Amino acid sequence: MGALNIAKVGNPVLRKIADPVEPGRIGSRSFQNFIDDMFETMVQNEGIGLAAPQVSRSEQVVVMACEGEGGFPETVLINPKIVYYSPQVGEMWEGCLSVDNLRGKVTRPSTIRVQYVDRDGVPQDLEASGLYAVCIQHEMDHLVGKLFVDRMTDMSTLTQLAEFDEYWKQEPATVI
Ligand code: NI
């Protein structure tokens, strides 16, 4: 147990469609330990979300948490499905623990509704907006082999971290 290695862009595991989790496995010690290890990995790397394919496990599991204003509670999405996208969209700078040193602007629906099973095996139905909605969509993209760079519509916003800090940090946007 402990922090896991993060798969980086170029690793084929990041491009696979993740398998659904067998519901009977959710309560097992090994699966619960895996979720704890994912949270530890996310925190250690200063992320606010992590999907199982990013730790080389091609399963439909996402962990997320973001403290502070505009943040959201600890959330575990197992076998999630987005059942509603708002017509309103928002643009936000995104980054990814699997894509070192790069940021880019991505436009996504502002509000979504997602149905999933939590780590207790209980079905949930959640409406999320703002950063929460962005993070859910970003992490769920990992479950279908997509990275934020695939979602960028304006590649001219692709920015290295030092240049982001120099030129773009003042923008009212959040990096995930
Ligand atoms: Ni990511």
Cα–Cα distance for residue pair 79/176, rounded to 1 Å: 22
51 CA → ligand 1 middle, Å:
7
- pLDDT band for 105, please (50, 70, 90 cuts): very high
- pLDDT band for 69, please (50, 70, 90 cuts): confident
Range of the domain at 88: 12-175
pLDDT tens digits for range 24-65: 999 999 999 999 999 999 999 999 999 999 999 999 999 999
130: in domain: yes
25: in domain: yes
29 CA → ligand 1 middle, Å:
26
Domain containing residue 120: CATH number? 3.90.45.10
148 CA → ligand 1 middle, Å:
7
- Picking from 89, 92, 77, the residue whose alpha carbon sits closest to that of residue 26 is 77
- Asked if residue 99 lies in contact with residue 116, where contact means CB atoms within 8 angstroms, the answer is no
3: in domain: no
pLDDT tens digits for range 122-169: 999 999 999 999 999 999 999 999 999 999 999 999 999 999 999 998
Q: Which residues are catalytic?
A: 139
